[in-house]
A = this chain, B = another copy of it.
Amino acid sequence: METLSERLIGRGWRMTSQRRVIARVFDVVGAQHIHLTADDVHERAAAALPEISRATVYNTLGEMVDAGELLAVHVGDRVTRYDPNVHEQHHHLLCAVCSSIFDVHAAVLPVADAADVQAVAPGFVIESADVIFRGRCAGCR
């Protein structure tokens, strides 16, 4: 699979040094099971490009989400995390103790009962579902 950097070039994005380092943060760690906060990304990007600003990191991550190249993930704290695994439909497993996040494929897509949906919100059309499975990972049990 192409790297994030390559896909951005393919979209015709102007390739600045800032965007290159931000994309590389996700390239180097690999596409699986990465859920960095914006400030995590800023910290890692700044290791390669010390003068990069927080505003640029926030702007760029937001643009990557809009372009569908990153997924914004929320697990109940107030922080947005960014997940480069946009090519496989998946949900998230969250350890209640250590807050580790894992990508997981739900075997059964959650389906809301149609009659119930129409009872509580007549005319509502469901387009997608996000699931957070909560539990404990091996190390925290």
Contact = CB atoms under 8 A, between A and B. Distances in A.
Number of copies: 2
A135 B136 CA distance: 30
B106 A113 contact: yes
Interface residues of A, number: 47
A121 interface: yes
B116 A125 contact: no
Interface stretch (A10-18, A20-28, A48-56, A91-99): A91-99
A109 interface: yes
Contacts of A131: 110, 129-131
A116 B104 contact: yes
Given A110-B108, A134-B130, A102 B123 contact: no
The 6 closest A-B pairs by CB, nearest first: A123-B138, A107-B113, A110-B110, A126-B135, A78-B78, A102-B121
